[in-house]
Amino acid sequence: MSVDPSRAARGVFRVEWLPGSDQLRGFCHCGAATVADGPVEVWDWLLAHPVGHDTRGRASVPGSGPAVLAGAGAAP
């Protein structure tokens, strides 16, 4: 098992717990991102894709750069 950057291309939803905060950042495979206060809210938003997923607003979400996956890969 290893970090797999191809997951984003395969239609993967990703949720990161923002360091030092209680907030969650959700990334949709379409490139849209959001920041939410809890897991119910973040999954409601992600799984509603494409409803409410405006990728034009990506730049306004802190840290929502290229959807390269870095943390959820397993150790070899």
Partner 1 sequence: MPTFPRDQWYVAAYGREIGHELFSRTVCNESILFWRTQAGSVTAVSNRCVHRRFPLSQPPSALVDDQVVCGYHGFTYAADGRCTAVPGQTRIPRAARLTSYPVVEQDSFVWVWIGDPAKADPARVPRAPWLESPGYATVSGMEPLRARFGLLVDNLLDLSHETYLHGGYIGTPEVAATPITTEVDEDAGIVYVSRHMDDAECPPFYSKSTGLNGRIMRWQDIEYMPPCLYTLHSRIAPLGVLPHDDGTDPGAFHVEVVYAMTPETDTSTHNFWAVARDFAQEDQSVSDFLAEQNRTVVLQDVAALNALEKSIAAEPEGYQELSINIDTGGLAARRMLAKLIERGSAAPSAAKG
Is there binding between residue 66 and partner 1 (CB under 8 A)?
no
Is there binding between residue 38 and partner 1 (CB under 8 A)?
yes
Is there binding between residue 71 and partner 1 (CB under 8 A)?
yes
Q: What is the dihedral of CA 31, 72, 12, 39, to 10 degrees?
A: -80
* C-beta separation of 15 from 23 below 8 A: no
Is there binding between residue 65 and partner 1 (CB under 8 A)?
no
Each residue 42-61 as x (binds partner 1 by CB under 8 A) or -, in order, gives: xx--xx--------------
Rounded CA gap, 2 and 60, in Å? 31
